[in-house]
Structure formats: C-alpha cells, structure tokens
Amino acid sequence: MNTIQPFRFRPLLKPVLWGGHRIAALKHLPDTGQPIGESWEISPMPGHESVVATGSDAGLTLNELVARHGELLLGRDVAARYGGRFPLLVKLIDACQPLSIQVHPGDALAAERHHSPGKTEMWYVVDALPDATIMAGLKQALTPVQFEALARAGELEQVIAHYRPIVGDVFFLPAGTVHSIGAGNLLVEIQQASDVTYRLYDYGRVDADGRPRQLHLDEARQAVHYAPDAGIASHCSPAGPGMVKLVECEHFAASLLAVDGRQRLEWQPMRSMLVVVGTQGRLDVITDGHCHTTLAMGESLLIAACTRTIEVAGKGQAVVAHIPHNQ
C-alpha cells in the first residue's frame, strides 16, 4: 500500500463585515486590518479551492490532488459514494459581530435549485467571550406564513433558541435548521461541501457599496424546518486522553481527540480520509511509523485513506472528522 504524507493547505481567508482578528493571530499571520470572518481550511469549492502548501504535491488544488491520488486519498467507500468528489468543507469562523439569521437547504432542494449538495453542518466552540451567544433551532412550531411574517418584521430572534456557548460546546445543525452565530465565537465548522445559504434577517446591514444585503425569504420557504428542533447542542469535556464522539450523521462523523503523551488512533485503512483540526496545544502526528507532521491550534491536516497507522504525541486537542462507512 502506498505511503502518502498528511497534507497541509494554504488557508483561504475570507474578509467579511462581521469578522474579527483572531484567525490571523491564531495562524501567526500579519494583521492587514481587514476583519477576517472565515478561514477555509480544506475546501473543494470551485473558485475557492484549497492549495497544498508543502511537499511533493505543493501547488496542487484539492481537486487536482483528488484526481491524482483517487481512492488512495479519499478511500474506496468515499470515492464510490461521491464519484471522486471531495465531500467536506472545513472552516474556522471568528464572529466579531453576529452573522445573519439563515438556513441551508437539504440535498434534494439544493440539487434541484443549485446543482449542489445540501448543507448540514456542525460547530465546535474553540473559544467564546463571556457575552457570546448562538441561536439555533425553533423554540416552537410555526407555519410558513407565521415564520415569514416574523422574518419580514425582523422578529425571528423571538422564536429561535438562544445558547451561551463555552469552550467544548458542540452544535449540530441539519439542513433546514434556522441559526445564527453571535458575536464573540471562535468555531471549527465541519460541513457538507456546499456554499448555499438563504439569508433570513441581517440586522439592517449594508454591503461595501452601501446597499442592503440580499435576503432570500422566498427561496427559504421550502428549506426551513418549521417544527421545534431538539438535540442541537451538547458539550464535550474529555476526562482524559482518548477520542470522544461529537457528531455522527450520514454526511460526516466528528470526534474530539485529547492527547497527553502518545496514543494510537483506531483506524481502518482505505475506508475514508481523515480531517484533523487543532483546537488546543501542539501535537505531533506520526503516520505509518515515520512521517511526522506538527499540528498546532488553528492548523488543519488531511490524512489520506491509504495511511496504515496514525499515532499522535504531545499535549493538546483536535477535532477529527471522516465520512462514516456504515450509513
């Protein structure tokens, strides 16, 4: 079986009006003064593709990397299921102002309208200021007419569940969940490889040209889950070294890896690639017994499915995600 060293990508920094300055500081990048809201860590999105930063494949886009290595990178199950398409988009998000209240369509609606997958996502809270909030899921059942009336009146916040996040909180948002990330949150986001968002309310903000940002109430009508949402929020506080499951759905599975010393990951070669995002400390990732790759807080790695063994040493934590094969 081939040996492929883990891939590190150049971060794609996204300046947005609600962004902050923590991502640049976390990555030890110069602060340009622009508010950076997102770093697309691993992205196959057209026009926004990740580019390999180091090694023999440096300069290749993620999609070129998949074309070169195929199922050795993706895994047999993933390559067969997604037709050679990389199925995840991995981000860091820094909200200095609240994001719009929004919703994402599911697979069927997104395919019909946008020729795209839907967007189910999860957030892991890396840091949260004391007054940070997250809104996710309806508190009560609404009809589409009631929902739209509240949206047009700017009163959706009244019917969405509010949370006070702390480090280690996990939010799972299936497509159709109405949500907003409040100011003060630094998150890891694992999601389907889709960028389809329907904006429902945006606090009256305007774009760089002074125009109100577009809302998508008509498009959202069929996407919203109008029933009360349960099971959105949970918390992960590892009692010691090991892996703790965060989320598992048909689109992805994610766990929190806590390391203090050295440990070997349970791993089934050729099932699925592995995405690893550092959330605390600094780790040494050892693949196939001899490839050493460092992973600091705020850094991300893509580990090929053909990797035979994975060990992690040091003291820190990381979110680890893959495509489940038992769905």
Q: Which residues are catalytic?
A: 199
Residues whose CB falls within 8 Å of the CB of residue 47, separated by 6 or more in sequence, listed in order: none
Strands (E), the chain: 12-20, 36-42, 44-45, 48-49, 88-95, 101-103, 121-128, 134-138, 160-163, 169-173, 179-181, 185-192, 198-201, 233-235, 242-248, 253-264, 274-287, 291-296, 300-303, 310-322
| Main-chain dihedrals φ then ψ at residue 310, nearest 5 degrees | -135, 125
* Cα–Cα separations (whole angstroms), residue 141 to 133, 181, 293: 22, 22, 48
In angstroms, how far is the first alpha carbon of the chain from the final one? 26
DSSP 8-class letter at 327: -
SS3 label, residue 127: strand
